[in-house]
Structure 1
């Protein structure tokens, strides 16, 4: 498991898009809950292949009995901040397909992404955000999601 995580993170510490940790503290799976959430989020977000990162993330969540809703909500917020809306859609679709979270969890993850988009006044990728919101509202991503 340690080798898989190390390979997945690769150059994550030097990646400008990965601002999840401070320079003075590296999160571990044996630390506090927030450390574990950050580390698993880094695994998902820093991989070159989203599918491989997702698979490893799910494996870590199951092995260490972590809260998938908390972790994927954190990841969806970070993806929204980075403007990676297609990956949020993929994440949600995979969560629904593999039944990793219940309906309330999916609602929480989608809602967290939408809040980040709404709070982002200087959104670079307006078209991507609009596309994501449109997919959610016409229920292409999550058929049972209700904005009301």
Structure 2
């Protein structure tokens, strides 16, 4: 018996993916695994989106070696990713941050992530990955 059968019975996959209780359980399992792995709370996912499509080389989101193609995932699920951040933003942004000139001006300008940004968007690691890659190149 697999995880979904054990916890949710033999239901239609699409209905299960759309079920709020199912998504909350998956998020809880992910967060529990993060805690056991020593991940800090600000590094943990706060929202997840379960999809029905398999991630195979044929669908274009992983390589033949099953390595994730980040750009392909980002492009394919752009709307879902934006919706997750949009839903999360009001909970994480305080009124003080909204009124500050730095938060409202230069929205188009690319900036280095601040500690406040990292706490507000813990899943957005793209700029940190680039910075980390640049640091590794300097060390080599």
TM-score, length-scaled by structure 1? 0.32
Question: Larger C-alpha radius of gyration, 1 or 2?
Answer: 2
| TM-score after normalising by structure 2 | 0.34
